[in-house]
Amino acid sequence: MCKFNFIETYIKDLYVVEPKLNMDKRGYFMESYNEKEFFDAGLNMKFIQDNESFSKKGVLRGLHFQRHHSQGKLVRVTQGEVFDVAVDIRKKSPTYGRYYSIILSAKNKNQLYIPREFAHGFLVLSEYATFVYKSTDYYYKEYESGIIYNDIDLSINWPIEKIDIILSEKDKKWKSLKNIDS
């Protein structure tokens, strides 16, 4: 019995992963990752690092990527809710410069598999959010880069009308996609 529903998005290699819950009167149990099932679905990656961040409402982290040692990521939220965004920065991709967005939350338990050579970011919508992800390569500070979250050409529809954005100093300084070397 498959423990996941793998949903292809309009961007090649980017998948929404819905885990199947085993519910009873005590609560639920779910697998968040199963190597065999991911491989059977064509997601042939090897995760080597797990990461977690905790942020308050309005925090926007991203849009991050590494210039070398690019990371594939399996992302999810274990507390709260975020607006999650993945941007295709693969130069030869027919969807180069396009983004996919999704609400990830502790309630819906959905995950997003983001392949290598994508920029990634998220905006916290709830009072607090715990964001966890597996990555296919290590973090290298010397290769970190990013795209400014409000890049006019990307036109990401961030749900920010009622939220004051909180950015790190680093995230305030990123350039637009057309002004970076990828």
pLDDT (tens digit per residue) in 64-106: 999 999 999 999 999 999 999 999 999 999 999 999 999 999 9
Active site residue 133: yes
Averaged pLDDT for residues 98-121 = 98
82-107 burial, b for 16+ CB within 10 Å, e for fewer?
bbbbbbbbbeeeebebebbbbebbee
pLDDT at 2: 76
In the structure, what pLDDT confidence band is assigned to residue 161 with cuts at 50, 70 and 90? Answer: confident
- φ/ψ of 89, rounded to 5, equals -115, 25
What fold, for 47-179? Jelly Rolls (2.60.120)
Residue 34 clears pLDDT 70, i.e. is over it: yes
- In the block, tokens 């309005």 appear at 58
The Cα 48–Cα 129 span in angstroms is 23
pLDDT at 126: 97
List, as one string, the DSSP characters of 55-70. Answer: EETTBEEEEEEESSS-
Residue 181 clears pLDDT 80, i.e. is over it: no
pLDDT at 132: 98
The Cα 94–Cα 91 span in angstroms is 8
Averaged pLDDT for residues 123-145 = 97
Of 64, 100, 113, 120, which is the active-site residue?
A: 64
Of 78, 4, 79, the closest CA to residue 41 belongs to 4
In the structure, what pLDDT confidence band is assigned to residue 182 with cuts at 50, 70 and 90? Answer: very low
The Cα 7–Cα 120 span in angstroms is 19
Of 15, 99, 133, 149, which is the active-site residue?
A: 133
- Average pLDDT over the chain, rounded to whole? 95
Within a 13 Å sphere around the CA of 63, how many CA atoms are in the beta-carbon half? 28
Q: Please check whether residue 149 is in contact with residue 121, taking contact to mean a CB–CB distance below 8 angstroms.
A: yes
Residue 32, number of CB atoms within 10 A of its CB: 15
| Residues pairing with 79 in the sheet | 130
